[in-house]
Amino acid sequence: MAEVMLRGNPIHTVADLPEVGSQAPEFSLTKTDLSDVHLSDLKGKRVILNIFPSIDTAVCATSVRKFNEEAGRLENTEVLCVSLDLPFAHNRFCGAEGLDRVSAVSELRNRDFGNDYGVRLLDGPLAGLLSRAVIVLDVNGKVLYTEQVPDIGQEPDYQSAIDALS
């Protein structure tokens, strides 16, 4: 279990993030076109998982914009922006912002991701949503980098996540 902060108050996740060097758990997430994407579909590509509570908050939206900008410079890399938001909300936001280099995905049909990756919030006003975290995977789904952002209102360390791909 990890402890993160929200407006100065501690809240907890279901578990710690997967360990660097471990095999990432398989997942099934729903894309904006309502098709599903699985980790196994991405074998052979590097993956950045940008995980956050909701696309409808300022810091979450900023992280999607920033990773969209960076994704254009990353070869053989898929950036998945993961939250519990409905695919329709992801589609609305990305469409309005012109964000087309990231894949916005939802736990719509399968809620295992938050538990398997240790990012489901257990308590506090955002209980049930996902914490703000970044996980970077190599082409075989091995964990290269993790960041559990210590305060939900804080942006992740984009550069460290990108550097992990080097």
Q: Which of 60, 71, 94, 133 is catalytic?
A: 60
Separation of alpha carbons 165 and 98, rounded Å: 25
> Which residues have C-beta within 8 Å of that of residue 129, sequence separation ≥ 6?
53, 54, 83, 84, 120, 121
Shortest CA distance to 74 belongs to which of 19, 140, 139, 146? Answer: 139
Q: Which residues share a beta bridge with 13?
A: 121
Q: What residue has token string 């590509």?
A: 45
CB 104 within 8 A of CB 91: yes
> Which residues have C-beta within 8 Å of that of residue 79, sequence separation ≥ 6?
47, 48, 50, 67, 68, 70, 71, 101, 102, 103
Instruction: Tell me, yes or no, if 60 is annotated catalytic.
Output: yes
Q: Which two tokens stand for residue 48?
A: 């950045």
* Active site (catalytic) residues: 60
